[in-house]
Structure formats: structure tokens, C-alpha cells
A and B are shown apart, each in its own frame.
Chain A
């Protein structure tokens, strides 16, 4: 594979980087990343990965763009309110970089469809906003041995961890079971500062880029915790749990689970 003239120009500032170069750029152009959620986390992640020249980016979301999304979901524009988020995302990403092939999945992930979708990608970025999807994605990635970048945000706090299945702690090593329905307010109920989503989603993009380029140290076995009010970052070591229900020595979760949706706001809307 030889870089075209316009690609040399477009990617010159990252080709210059030590340990990237033309060979690193080729890795990026040949890479396939799946982003789950075209929302607060998925937006900055998709923008940076498209800009960096990831060859193929899949994006999953079942929602349409709403006006109240635009405060933090920087992929979408005012004129796209009412369109599906994945179409809006594709328009923006290919607008930035026509090199990128964007595959859209206008659906909600379930135990039925997730394995077929993630199979086609090198690394998965979870920017979902609910526990059922988060556990489903974790379990599917562990079963399929796909690296996963998890990100979560809540009010002024954010966290991120990278999961290398069977090598580093998974999301269930950290939090074995989803909280009971109604116990934890969802983002929609709790509020979120847009820049917090930007910071965590950008960290997830950075993790995906490092994984593809094989440079630096991933947040594997390390939970990064961010607080926006203090502007503080800290890393908490997370060991692999030998008793983990999915990646432990004798796993009890042997097939994918569709947990109940327990976001009360969503339930009201759907009824």
C-alpha cells in the first residue's frame, strides 16, 4: 500500500510523529473500529478516528438526533435534528475525511445481533449510555476476544478503562452485576457537562489509536477516573478477578444476557 499525495498532505502531522510514520498511517488506514453509540462519548471519538484516517468505522445507534443532544453530541448539527444519529454521524465523518468508510447500524444491540456485528472489527469502543448495553458489549467482547474501550460519564465525573479479554480486567471484574433497575439515575435524568463527554470520548479515541499503532501503554487493568470540578485525573489499578462471572476461571455467564431496560425516562417515552 502506497500513500497517495493527498494522504501524505492530510496525515503529515501524524506521519511526522516518532513511532507512527508512513507505516503507522497504513495501519490506521487498514484498521476497523466499531463505535457503539453516536452520542456524547461516540461523537468526539468518531470525529478523531475519522480525522486520523481509520479505514473503516462502524457506528451503532438506534436513536434520532434531538435538540437536547446538541449540547454535548458534537457529531450532530442543528440541521440534522430528526435524522437518524448514524446517518448524521456518517455525513459528518465522511465530510471530514472521504478516506473513511462508515458503516451504519441503525439498531439497538441485543444478544441476537451483537456477535455478528463485532466480528468485523479490530477494536470496539463502547460509548453507550445504559447498563444493559454496557454488560452485553463487555460479555460479547470477552466471548469474541475483542479489545474494548469502555467509557462512562455521570454529571461531572468520567471514567475509562481498556479491556484486553483474558489478559486484563473486564467490566465485570470491576462491577460484577448491573445495578438494580431504578437504583442509579441515567444520564438523561442526572445531567452531564458536554466537555466531560468530550474528555472521556477523546481518551477512548486515543486508546483505539494506540492499540492500532501498537504504541504506548493502554489503560488495561487501570481505571482512569476524571473529575471535572477539580480537573483531576487518577488511575486505579484493577486486577483481573479470578472469580469473574465471564472472564474468570469458571465462568457462570456462558451466554449473552439482555438485561431489562431500566431507564425510567425511556420507558415513559416508549409507552
Chain B
């Protein structure tokens, strides 16, 4: 069921905007099309902004999951 296995993981706890998106974007650039990136984000601005900015660049948000006071995002590279 939850068999999506991310290729790479990026822990962006305590990384503020817009650096959270900059880091996510640079990591996605290194990956191949179709590969999945897992990103851990803080609550607040990062979880509001990163998924939207990632979608604007054409990538797919596969999953958004709340973990205590942070978030787990699964992104499929376009």
C-alpha cells in the first residue's frame, strides 16, 4: 500500500523560506525524471510554499503527510 520508496531524502527541518524551496529545487535538478524525492519540512511557511512552488515547476506532489510538528512530502520529478 504505502510502497512508494523515495530515491532521495532531504531533511529541511529549521530551513526557512525561500531556502527550503531552493534546496528542494537543486536536489530535484540532480535527479532523473520519475524518481521520487522525500522532503521533511517545518510547519508554517515552508509547508505552505514549497509544495506550491514545486507544482509550478511541473513536478507532482504524490503525498503530504503530517508528522508531529513537521511535514513529509513526496515529490515525483517531472
Question: In the complex the two chains form, is B18's CB within 8 Å of A18's CB?
Answer: no
Asked if B22 is at the interface of the complex by the 8 Å CB criterion, the answer is yes
In the complex, what residues of A have CB within 8 A of residue B18's CB?
12-13, 16
Bound-state Cα–Cα, A8 to B19, Å: 9
Contacts A/B (CB < 8 Å), 16 sampled: A8-B23, A9-B19, A12-B18, A12-B19, A13-B18, A15-B25, A15-B26, A16-B18, A16-B22, A16-B25, A18-B56, A18-B57, A21-B25, A21-B29, A22-B29, A23-B29
What per-residue 1/0 map shows which CB atoms of B20-52 lie under 8 Å from chain A?
011101100100000000000000000000000
- Dominant secondary structure at the B interface: helix
Bound-state Cα–Cα, A8 to B57, Å: 19
Bound-state Cα–Cα, A8 to B22, Å: 8
Bound-state Cα–Cα, A18 to B55, Å: 12
Bound-state Cα–Cα, A200 to B26, Å: 33
Asked if A215 is at the interface of the complex by the 8 Å CB criterion, the answer is no
Chain B: CB-nearest residue to A9? B19
Measured as residues with beta carbon below 8 angstroms from the partner, the interface class of chain A is: 10 to 19
Please report A residues at the B interface, Cβ cutoff 8 Å: 3, 8-9, 12-13, 15-16, 18, 21-23
Question: In the complex the two chains form, is B56's CB within 8 Å of A3's CB?
Answer: no
Bound-state Cα–Cα, A18 to B25, Å: 10
Bound-state Cα–Cα, A245 to B66, Å: 69
B contact residues, total (Cβ < 8 Å): 11
Please report B residues at the A interface, Cβ cutoff 8 Å: 18-19, 21-23, 25-26, 29, 53, 56-57
Chain B: CB-nearest residue to A26? B29
In the complex, what residues of B have CB within 8 A of residue A21's CB?
25-26, 29
- With A21-B29, A22-B29 as contacts: A12 and B57 at CB distance below 8 Å: no
Chain B: CB-nearest residue to A19? B57
- With A12-B18, A16-B18 as contacts: A3 and B57 at CB distance below 8 Å: no
Chain A: CB-nearest residue to B25? A21
In the complex, what residues of A have CB within 8 A of residue B25's CB?
15-16, 21-22
In the complex, what residues of B have CB within 8 A of residue A16's CB?
18, 21-22, 25, 53
B75 to chain A, nearest CB (A): 15
Bound-state Cα–Cα, A22 to B19, Å: 13
Bound-state Cα–Cα, A269 to B67, Å: 75
